[in-house]
Structure 1
C-alpha cells in the first residue's frame, strides 16, 4: 500500500450507486477499484477496474482490495442474503470462517453490518460512508426537486419520524407511510419498495388526504454501510400508492440515479424534501431482550424454549412501543429480528403471511422459527393459530399484561395444542435498566 496516497475501493452490490460513487471519486482524481459481488452487482462500471468475486471468495475479495492499494473502502449496493448452495468458498473463506460465523449469527441487519465493518477494519482498511466518497449523492435540507411539501404535510412527516425513532432500538425498517395522521404501513424486512407496493394495493380507500413516505436512519445506525436510499423505483412506488411525496432525513439518506430520480419526481409532481428531526435520540442502545424482566404464563401444553422466550419479549416490547401510534396489532419476530409489523388495515393474517418467506442474515437454512406477537386476545383467532402453525413459527405471545385470573378460550388453546405451537400471556411489566 502506497504511503500517503488515498485509494478508494468499492465493494459493490446491485444498482447504480457503486458506479455513481466511482465516477464521482475519479472526477476528483481519487484512484478507484471495484470488487463486484457476483450475482449482485449489475451496473456497467465503464473505465473502472473491476474484480468479480463470489460471496464465498472472501480471500479473493480481501486480496483484490489490498492488491489495488485500497486505503478507504465503501460498501454499497443492493444485496440479497446469500444461500449456502450458491457459495464457492476459497481458502480465505475457511481462514476467516470463525469470524464469518460470528457475523451471520449476530442476528439482525444492524448487528451483521457492524461486524462486517469490523472485519474489514481488521484487514487495515478504513470503511467510509457513500456520502464521504460522493457528497453530491446525499439529500440535503430542503426540496430536492421542483415540488415542495405543503403545510398540511408537516404533521404526517413529524409522525413518521416519530414512529421510526420509537422503533430504532428494535432494528426495524427505516420507512413508514403516514396519511392524514394515520400510519398506513411500517417497513419490515421486505424493504421500502415492497412496502410501497403493499400500500398501492390499498390506495384510494376513501381517503382524500395527501400522504407521505417518511424515510430516516434508525438511531445508532451505522451510515457507513447502511445509509437509507431512495431512487427512481421509490418515486414510482410513491406515485402508485397515491402519496404526495417523500420526506427524508437530511444528510442521512442518499439518492440513487440522481438525475433520473429528479426527473421522475418532477414529472409525477412528487415532492422529495430533506428534513431535520428535531427530537433525535442520541446514543440509543440496541434492544436486548435478555435485559428485560418479563414473565409469561403458558396457556397450553407446549412451552417455549429459551430463544423463543427472548423472541416473545421482543415482540411484546415492540407492540408496546407502537401503542401510542395506534398500530402494531401483530408482529413477527424470528431469532431476535422483527420481520413484519401490522399497520393500516393489513390485519393479523396478512402480517404473518408477509413474514413467512422473509429471512434474516442469521438464518443459514430454510428452517423457520420464532413467534407471532398479538396485542391482545381479541386477535387470537383460529385463523391466527392456523397461520402461525403453517408458517412454522414456534408460538404466539399475547403482549397485553393479563388481568388477574384471565385466561384464553379453551377452544383456541386446544387448537394451538393440536397445531403444536405454544401460546403465552405476558404477566410481567418488562422493565429494564436502560429504559
Structure 2
C-alpha cells in the first residue's frame, strides 16, 4: 500500500460505505467519511463522520481537503434530491454554473460523469468500489448453494442482451425475465422498487404473467462509469427476489458488488435462490451514446400546441427507445423528461406506465413548468384516459410512432382533449425510425 494515499468516502445509504471503510482500514489506509445527511442511514462504527446536506458542497470539499484525501469513493443508495432539503452553502453558489450544467446533462450517466470531473477538478482522484475494496466484487460462478437451471440460463442471456441494447439510452441496470418474457425493466426507481412492482403484478389476478420463477438480471450499462455507479446487490435484493417468486439472480461478473456478502449468500441459500456471476458472451458491439440532436426524425403536429425544442428532443428519444424495445416484445410507451428516461412499459399498459412515471423524478427539477413527453409506439394506445394521465402527471405532450387514423373518432376525441388541456401531440412521419 502507498502510505501517501488517503481514502475519502462520500456516503449515501446502505452498508457499502462502512464496508469499504473497514476494508481500507484493514489495509492501513486512512479513511475520511462525508455522509449525505438525508441519505446515509448506515452505522459507521468507530469511523469519524462529517454529515452534510446535498447542497453543502463547500462542506464536502473542505472535509476532504482537511483530511488530505487523495482518492474518493462515491458510494451508497441515494434519491434524487428535492430542492427544499439541499440547504446550499457558499460552496454550492460558488460552483452553481457548473452544478446547473451537471443536472442538465441528461440521465444518470451524464450527471455522474460530470460529478467525477468536478471532484477531480479539485485534485481528488475518484475511484470505484472495486479498487477500494476488491473483495466485494462478484466474480464468475455461483456464490451460494443453489444452481441455475437450463431455462434460467436462457432468461439470463436475454436479460443481459436487453440491458446492453438499452445502454445507449441510459436506462436501468436490471430486468426481470421469466420464460423468455420481459416482466420488468428498471427505470429511475431503482432495483428494489422494480422488484416490488414485479411482485405486485404477479399477485394481480388480472395479469397473465408468471406466478413464480424467473431471474433478476443485473449488469452495467455499456459505457457506464463504474467509478461512481457500480451496480450492487445485497440482502434487500434477495428479499425482493423472493417476494417476487424469482428463482435466481444473475449479475455481470466483475462489475457488480455484493453488500453484506456473507448475509446475502446465507439468505439466498435459505430462500433457494441462486446468485451467479456471469461472464458476458459476445453480444456484438454496444450502441454509441444516444444523442437526439443527431437524429433526423420528422413530425407533424396533430394538435395546435407547439412543443419547445427540448420537448421535441425528448420525443425523439422516447420513440427511439420504444423502437429498441419492440425487438423484446415490450415497450408500448416510454416517459422521457429532460433527456432522462423515467419509465418504460413492460406489459402493464401505456396508461399504467404514465401513472407509475408520475411518481418518479429526474435529477434536481427546479421548475414547475410542464416538462417531459409520453411516447407511444402506436396510435391505438391514444385514448382520452391516457391524455388525462399525461396531463395530470404534468408532462408537456405526447409523441406517437404510428400512423394517424383521421377517421378514428376515439383518437380524434383524444387529440381534441389534449389540445384543450394544453398538450402538444406529435406524430412521427412514416418511415422515420432511427436508432443509436
| TM-score computed with the length of structure 2 as normaliser | 0.94
Shift of 1:429: 4.0
Match of 2:119 in 1: 120
Identify if the C-alpha distance between structure 1 residues 284 and 377 changes in structure 2 by more than 3 Å, giving closer, same or farther: closer
The structure 2 residue matched to 1:371, chosen from 370, 373, 379, is 373
Aligned partners of 2:429, 2:252: CA distance in 1, in Å? 38
Shift of 1:302: 1.6
The structure 2 residue matched to 1:255, chosen from 255, 258, 267, is 258
The structure 1 residue matched to 2:248, chosen from 225, 245, 248, is 245
Identify if the C-alpha distance between structure 1 residues 251 and 293 changes in structure 2 by more than 3 Å, giving closer, same or farther: same
Deviates more, 1:87-96 or 1:221-230: 87-96
Query: SS of the residue aligned with 2:313?
Result: helix
What are the Cα deviations for residues 366-395 of structure 1, in whole angstroms up to 9, with x where unaligned?
544211111111111121111111111111
Shift of 1:203: 2.1
Are 2:345 and 1:342 equivalent residues in the alignment?
yes
The structure 2 residue matched to 1:320, chosen from 319, 323, 340, is 323
Shift of 1:413: 2.0
Match of 1:211 in 2: 214
Aligned partners of 2:270, 2:369: CA distance in 1, in Å? 45
Query: SS of the residue aligned with 2:113?
Result: helix
Length, aligned pairs only: 430
Match of 1:59 in 2: 58
The structure 2 residue matched to 1:236, chosen from 234, 239, 244, is 239
Match of 1:354 in 2: 356
| TM-score computed with the length of structure 1 as normaliser | 0.94
Identify if the C-alpha distance between structure 1 residues 121 and 257 changes in structure 2 by more than 3 Å, giving closer, same or farther: same
Identify if the C-alpha distance between structure 1 residues 208 and 387 changes in structure 2 by more than 3 Å, giving closer, same or farther: closer
Shift of 1:303: 2.2
Query: SS of the residue aligned with 1:325?
Result: coil
Gaps of 5+ in 1: none
Aligned partners of 1:276, 1:103: CA distance in 2, in Å? 33
Match of 2:311 in 1: 308
Aligned partners of 2:162, 2:364: CA distance in 1, in Å? 26
1:383-402 aligned at under 5 Å gives the runs 383-400=385-402, 402=403
Match of 1:410 in 2: 412
RMSD: 2.0
Shift of 1:84: 1.9
Identify if the C-alpha distance between structure 1 residues 206 and 379 changes in structure 2 by more than 3 Å, giving closer, same or farther: closer
Aligned partners of 2:301, 2:272: CA distance in 1, in Å? 53
Identify if the C-alpha distance between structure 1 residues 225 and 281 changes in structure 2 by more than 3 Å, giving closer, same or farther: farther
Aligned partners of 1:66, 1:45: CA distance in 2, in Å? 20
Is the 1:349–1:387 contact (alpha carbons within 8 Å) kept by the matching residues of 2?
yes
Query: SS of the residue aligned with 2:251?
Result: strand
Aligned partners of 2:307, 2:151: CA distance in 1, in Å? 47
Aligned partners of 1:414, 1:364: CA distance in 2, in Å? 30
Shift of 1:10: 0.5
Aligned partners of 2:375, 2:189: CA distance in 1, in Å? 18
Shift of 1:207: 3.3
Identify if the C-alpha distance between structure 1 residues 349 and 135 changes in structure 2 by more than 3 Å, giving closer, same or farther: same
Match of 2:80 in 1: 81
Shift of 1:172: 0.6
What are the Cα deviations for residues 147-170 of structure 1, in whole angstroms up to 9, with x where unaligned?
111111111111111111111000
Aligned partners of 1:8, 1:247: CA distance in 2, in Å? 31
Aligned partners of 1:153, 1:301: CA distance in 2, in Å? 50
Identify if the C-alpha distance between structure 1 residues 40 and 281 changes in structure 2 by more than 3 Å, giving closer, same or farther: farther
Query: SS of the residue aligned with 2:327?
Result: helix
Shift of 1:280: 5.1
Match of 1:173 in 2: 172
